[in-house]
Amino acid sequence: MSEIDVKLPSFGRGLSARVLILTILFVLVSGILIYVPSIARFRLDWLEEKLNTAHLAILALEATPDYMIDPELEVRLLNHVGARVIGLRSGDGKNLILRGSTPPLLVDVTVDLSDRGFVRLFEDGLDTLVQSRNRVLRVKGYSPRAADVVVDVVLDEWPLRQALLAYSWRILGFSIVISLITAALLFAALQWLIIRPMRRLTREMVNFRQAPEDQSGDFGRTSRGDEIGLAEREFAEMQEKVRQALMQRARLAALGTAVSKINHDLRGILATARLITDRLAESDNPEVRKAAPALLRSLDRAVDLCSDTLNFTREGPPKPEFETFFLAELVDEVGEGLAKLLGTEKSWVSGVAADLRIRADRGQVYRILRNLGENALQMGAQRVEVRAFEAATGIEIEVADDGPGLPPKALENLFVAFKGSARSGGTGLGLAIARELMRGQGGDLKLVRSSADGAVFALSLPPVAALPH
Ligand SMILES: Nc1ncnc2c1ncn2[C@@H]1O[C@H](COP(=O)(O)OP(=O)(O)OP(=O)(O)O)[C@@H](O)[C@H]1O
Ligand SMILES: [Mg+2]
């Protein structure tokens, strides 16, 4: 496979980088969403733990008869809790206090732990975080160990702030690690599942466009069940079809050249044969003279077949030359052209309004109507009628006959060149060419109905073909 520089977007503008950044962002956002309630919770737990240890510490007083203990022990107990003063009031009215050598001090904030509103807790948590100086807190609340005991602790806020900060850093670090891991995993998955196959598909497309006949770099049959697998299979299918079409086109071109060469020579031969037949017509032998006209007709048919085939293979439909004309006049002309086929018994009836003017290629419409008329009469119709209507979709011209309808063989290959004929001596080009000519003018030709009592064909022309009367 020739290596072609497929211009895929650079990493920064590509899909993977975007997904990478978005993933990191999303995980960080969810980290924040988790962080907000968790600092409130962390602070509450921390303070409750203080109440708990404070309660434990003050219980030491109860062990003494007069609620007095050694001042040194008192200081040690307070240090252990990390409090300056501890107070306790139990349900039975007992008051205990542990204050060591703490001088009277000013409390900055009083925290009542029985107020557990979420917003309140969150605000207080943030408030602690943003403090730049140590505050003295007085924390009150029921002891977690006994529901009827209120513990009162005076302590420094600074250690709480330090713990909160450490906790915040931990959460941030954790979020970053998680987002990096998730992003890396996602990136790898994306690379594996989408980017790589997409690059392969794109490269394949570029290669195919440049050298459609080169099959060396084609996909193997992929068994992927997802959208990419489907795209690969569809592309492989399309490649196959395009390749076939290209090959067929090349062969058809060769065939066309061969046909025109054969035609050319054949027409020369037929011209000679015609000359000889002409002379036969002047023969003294009456038998020979009688055979001459039939022979001439056959030769003419052969020449016509050559010309029609040649014209059909050589070029597509001729470019239409639009003009405006009265349709009824043209229908009458076609009738005159068919005079020989009509003879005296058969009739060509025009039901077209005399003032209906249309815009189309007059010569082509003549040829189409004549073809349809010839077909009907050749198949045994006694009467052929042409009608025309103006509709929102444009002009509709109907050619209806009372013949036997189309035989199955003709219906099977209707409008297919060289295949649609079900008549001895027919080429099978008439309807195919007629439809091509109609489509070239922006219209169409269709078989409307075919039954044992006749066939109806309809020519349609686009709305621009209709003109004001
Ligand atoms: N009005 C019709 N009634 C019955 N059969 C028809 C009618 N028009 C066409 N056919 C059938 O359709 C076939 C195809 O018609 P088409 O004009 O394409 O080819 P053809 O008449 O056989 O040959 P060509 O017109 O090229 O000389 C005819 O052979 C005929 O059997
Ligand atoms: Mg015909």
Task: Please report, for the chain, the start and end positions of each structural domain, with discontinuous segments joined by +.
Answer: 15-180, 227-314, 323-465
Ligand 1 binding residues, C-beta < 6 A: 371, 375-376, 379, 401, 403, 405-407, 410, 420-423, 426-432, 455
Any idea which ligand is nearest the CA of 374?
2
pLDDT band, residue 274 (cuts 50/70/90): confident
Tell me the two tokens of residue 461.
């022309």
Pocket test for ligand 1, best of 371, 431, 448, 453 (most atoms within 8 A of CB): 431
Q: Are 223 and 229 in contact (CB under 8 A)?
A: yes
Atom of ligand 1 nearest to the CA of 405: 4
Mean pLDDT, to the nearest integer, of 87-104?
86
- Give tens-digit pLDDT for 225-235: 888 888 888 99
> Degrees (nearest 5) of the Cα angle 263, 265, 267?
65
Residue 457: predicted pLDDT = 98
| CA–CA distance, 286 with 296 (Å, rounded to integer) | 16
Q: DSSP state, 465? A: G
**Ramachandran region, residue 239 (left: φ > 0; alpha: ψ -120 to 50; beta: rest):** alpha
d(CA 152, ligand 2 centre) in Å: 112
323-465 CATH fold? Heat Shock Protein 90 (3.30.565)
Q: Which amino acid is at 350?
A: S
Q: In DSSP terms, which residues pair with 168 in a beta bridge? A: none
> How many whole angstroms from its chain centre is CA 96?
78
Q: What is the pLDDT of residues 185-225, one digit of tens each?
A: 988 888 888 888 888 888 888 888 888 888 876 766 678 88
Does pTM surpass 0.85? no
Indicate the helix (H) or strand (E) that contains 112: strand 109-112
The ligand 1 atom nearest the CA atom of 376: 1
**Could you give the residue ranges of the DSSP H alpha helices within 282-351?**
286-314, 327-337, 339-342
Q: What is the pLDDT of residue 2?
A: 43
Contact between 164 and 125 under an 8 Å Cβ cutoff? The reply is yes
In terms of pLDDT, which residue wins out, 8 or 307? Answer: 307
Between 128 and 91, residue with greater pLDDT: 128
Q: Please tell me the residue having the least CA distance from ligand 1 atom 10.
A: 406
DSSP state of 365: H
What CA–CA distances, in Å, run from 379 to 137, 184, 198? 112, 77, 58
Asked whether residue 1 carries a pLDDT value surpassing 70, the answer given is no
Distances (CA, A) of 294 to 104, 132, 263, 354, 378: 141, 121, 22, 41, 18
Residue 337: pLDDT band with limits 50, 70, 90: very high
Token duo for residue 147: 């529901």
Q: Report the atom number in ligand 1 closest to the C-alpha of 454.
A: 3
**Which H helix or E strand runs over 457?**
strand 454-461
Distance CA(372)–CA(415), nearest Å, equals: 12
Does residue 318 or residue 341 have the better pLDDT? Answer: 341
**Does residue 47 carry a pLDDT above 60?**
yes
3-state secondary structure of 103: coil
pLDDT for 314 equals: 66
pLDDT > 90 fraction of the chain, expressed in percent and rounded = 42
Q: Is the pLDDT of residue 466 over 70?
A: no
Best CA proximity match to 376, nearest among 405, 413, 414: 405
